[in-house]
Amino acid sequence: MNPTLIPKLLGVAVLFFVLLILSNASTYVIEPGTRGLKVTLGKTADNFLPAGFGFKAPFITSIVVVNIRQKTQQVNADCFSSDLQQVKIDLRVLYRVPEAAVVQIYREFAGDPFDSLIAPRVQEAIKEVTALLTAEQIVKSREEIKKKALASAAQKIGTLLVVEDIVVRDINLSAELEKAIEAKMVAEQQANQARFTQIQTQVEAETAIISAKGEAEAIRVRGEALRLSPSFLRWKIVDRWNGRSPMVVPSGTDNSGAALLLPIGPAEKPAAP
């Protein structure tokens, strides 16, 4: 190999390496779901960078990536009810960073904006809502607490961050308070059952009275019909006759009236010869 060729090859390799470094230092790629910020010598650009490929000044400009996807964070709040009972609430907060606030949040808030902007305001909103309710109402009104706390937190945070939803994951009470609430609910259920039984008994009694009145009225009507029309009795006897051997009974003591046919029991079978 020609001795003069080795320095040339080394020079080409070094040049290629330098060009590769410059290429990496002067380009950037912003992933989907994120936005970029150009920081040049400590100064942040006024506009964010959209997702995609771009160029920047090498070595003096850095790209800060801000995630704008929806995130979920845990928040714990120690609250007091209106009856001065301590209640611990475990929350899940769904939030995201809007595009319009990317630059302002980076400039004004250090670290994760959730810790400095969302968490304390959500805790404050939850405490304000629960302070107006008793411990028992807090346990029964999760959805109401969620809606009021979400509206209050969104108003306190403003437009810098968007709180999509607040999920009340768990409500923890003291063991004594849980037993007291459970005993009260059992007593209410027993009282409701007793009221239902009382109403049911009253309805059954009223039904029996109505039935007795109807039966008495029916007897009165039939008696009146018999009094006004004796032939009605003869018709009923004939109507109920089952075709078996009749027994002749005079209709009057003087044997002057028409005879009545009364059904008797099954005809006796003739004795065997």
CATH number, domain with residue 122? 3.30.479.30
Instruction: Determine, yes or no, domain membership for 187.
Output: no
Q: Is residue 63 domain-shared with residue 109, that is, in the same domain?
A: no
- Is 123 a domain residue? yes
Distance separating alpha carbons of residues 24 and 156, to the nearest angstrom: 43
Judgement on whether residues 80 and 148 belong to the same structural domain of the protein: yes
For 152-204, the pLDDT digits (tens) are: 999 999 888 999 999 999 888 776 666 666 666 666 676 777 787 888 888 88
Which of 84-88, 100-104, 241-245 ranks highest by mean pLDDT? 100-104
Task: Compute the chain's Rg from CA coordinates.
Answer: 47
Q: Is 89 exposed, middle or buried (0-12, 13-18, 19+ CB in 10 A)?
A: buried
Percent of the chain whose pLDDT exceeds 70 = 72
2-6, 17-21, 123-127, 257-261: which range is least confident on average? 257-261
Strand, coil or helix: what is 6?
helix
pLDDT at 257 over 50: no
Same domain, 98 and 159: yes
Residues 55 and 130 in one domain: no
Among residues 20, 49, 67, which one ends one of the domains?
Answer: 67
Residue type, 105: I
- 126 in a domain, yes or no? yes
Which residue carries 């845990």 as its tokens? 74
The reply to whether 53 and 85 lie within a common domain is no
Within a domain: 191? no
* Listed range (68-72, 111-115, 123-127, 148-152) with the worst mean pLDDT: 111-115
What's the mean per-residue pLDDT of the chain?
A: 79
Confidence band (pLDDT; 50, 70, 90) for 252? Answer: low
> Same domain, yes or no, for 30 and 117?
no
- Total count of domains within the chain: 2
Residue 202, in any domain of the structure? no
**Gap between the terminal Cα atoms of the chain:** 150
Q: d(Cα 257, Cα 119) in Å, to the nearest integer? A: 106
167-180: b (≥16 Cβ within 10 Å) or e: ebeebebeeebeee
Same domain, 38 and 113: no
Task: Specify the pLDDT at position 245.
Answer: 55
- The reply to whether 78 falls in a domain is yes
* Co-location of 107 and 27 in the same domain: no
Spatial distance between the Cα atoms of 153 and 83, rounded to a whole number of angstroms = 24
Q: Last residue of a domain, which of 67, 90, 117?
A: 67
155 part of a folded domain = yes
User: Residue 209 — very low, low, confident or very high, per pLDDT cuts 50/70/90?
Assistant: confident
Q: Could you tell me if 156 and 79 lie in one domain? A: yes
Q: How far is CA 200 from CA 187, 196, 197, 203, 205, in A?
A: 20, 6, 5, 5, 9
Rounded to two decimals, the pTM is 0.59
Q: What's the CA gap between 89 and 141, in Å, rounded? A: 13
Question: Does residue 74 register a pLDDT over 60?
Answer: yes
Tell me: do 87 and 133 sit in the same domain.
Answer: yes
Residue 81 and residue 119 in one domain: yes
Residue 141 maps to a domain: yes
Question: What confidence score (pLDDT) does residue 256 get?
Answer: 47
Q: Going along the chain, which residue ranges are E strands?
A: 27-30, 34-40, 43-44, 52-55, 61-67, 71-80, 86-96, 162-172, 246-249, 260-263
**Which residues form the domain of 57?**
9-67
pLDDT of residue 273: 46
Are 94 and 51 within one domain? Answer: no
Given 124, 156, 173, which residue is the final one in a domain? Answer: 173
